[in-house]
Amino acid sequence: MRVLLTGAFGNIGVSTLDELLRQGHQVRCFDVPTRRNRQTARHYRKNIEVFWGDLRNQDAITRAVQDQQIAIHLAFIIPTLSITGINCEEKPNLAYQVNVGGTQNLINALQAMHEPAKMIFSSSLHIYGQTQDSPPPRITTDPVHPIEHYSHHKVKCEAMLRASSLEWLIVRFAAVLPLDLKLDPGMFDVPLNNRIEYVHTRDVGLALANAIRCESVWGKTLHIGGGPACQYYYDEIVQKIMDTVGIGMLPERAFGIVPFCTDWLDTTESQGLLHYQRYTLDDYVRELKTLMGFRRILARWFRPFVRASLLRKSPYYHKTNLGAAHGLVG
């Protein structure tokens, strides 16, 4: 099939692109022309068609959708770990224009087609808000309680798509860690006792590619997560990753205490339809170990300095240490 993939050169985008090509689809990639994206695109050479553009430009989107049968919409400015280098919580107006305005532009372009393409929209478990006081897992009919700009944008886009005349699928992702891992300050915002579900980026790519061939998915909202084998408490994930990169577990006081918008998900329906759950967090850390190579040895050599540098990024560690110095905490 002819597939338009927005955000094609991001974390999930590349995994989806690889799987779409493996399954024999013709893929048109739409993304912003950053240096990194251009480098990624060159790896695929003549196997893809690339449309560089901005979601805020209706004309660019209209050109990109021509002759396409499916649109997989991944492009979004996110809170942390975004390859755009923009944090949607720090630049909410720009993020709204790209996230909500851009999604509306895509919906408009698809609806204007002589034979409108179907649309798959990538949403997030963040839309449920703080749910640690509710028994898991989350189901897709749970009420949504967005608390930050990002999740408000996702909820708005879901509503716009449901109100459109298109055939659609909404997929709400669990935590998808990039293989090109960067230890972002946002990692400290999640309490160590927070429930969180992991899903491998390549499993997400497989789910999206398989959805194209599954007639039963249209009009549904599905969770895409790793399943029961990938349901953790956050301290388990941090421990595995920190040990793998050679830094070791960080102090509990470096992490926040306000419940974070992650949880375990019911993925029974999505797995039954899309058959995508293959990898676990252990597979991820093995790949991470291989990709880091000699950098793991360097991290071990300079471990005290690396740990100190990383802890300086935590807004909580500094406060607790300052409080202890003034006799405020133990």
pLDDT digits (tens, 9 = 90+) for 215-257: 999 999 999 999 999 999 999 999 999 999 999 999 999 999 9
C-alpha–C-alpha distance, residues 161 and 170, integer Å: 9
Overall pTM surpassing 0.85 (yes/no): yes
Q: Please report which helix (H) or strand (E) contains residue 169, including its range.
A: strand 168-173
Least confident of 22-31, 80-89, 121-130: 80-89
DSSP 44: T
CA distance 72 to 29: 10
Which band of pLDDT confidence, cut at 50, 70 and 90, is reported for residue 327?
Answer: very low
Say what the pLDDT of residue 326 is. Answer: 37
Determine the Cα–Cα distance for residues 305 and 308; give it in Å rounded to an integer. 5
Mean pLDDT of 12-34: 98
pLDDT, mean of residues 257-281 = 98
Plot region of 47 (φ>0 → left; ψ -120 to 50 → alpha; else → beta): alpha
Enumerate the β-bridge partners of residue 118.
Answer: 70
Query: How does pLDDT run across 121-176, given as a tens digit for each residue?
Result: 999 999 999 999 999 999 999 999 999 999 999 999 999 999 999 999 999 999 99
* Distance from C-alpha of 87 to C-alpha of 223, rounded to nearest angstrom: 24
Distance CA 283, CA 290 (A): 11
DSSP string over 208-221 = HHHHHT-GGGTT-E
Q: Are the C-beta atoms of 119 and 58 separated by less than 8 Å?
A: no
Average pLDDT over residues 272-288: 98
* CATH, domain 2-184+197-233+261-290, list 3.40.462.20, 3.40.190.10, 3.40.50.720, 3.60.15.10: 3.40.50.720
Query: What pLDDT score does 89 carry?
Result: 80
Where do the domains of the chain lie? Answer: 2-184+197-233+261-290
Asked if the model's pLDDT at residue 206 lies above 50, the reply is yes
- The predicted pLDDT at position 86 comes to 64
Looking at residue 324, what is its pLDDT? 43
Query: According to the model, what pLDDT value does residue 321 have?
Result: 55
pLDDT (mean) for 290-316: 92
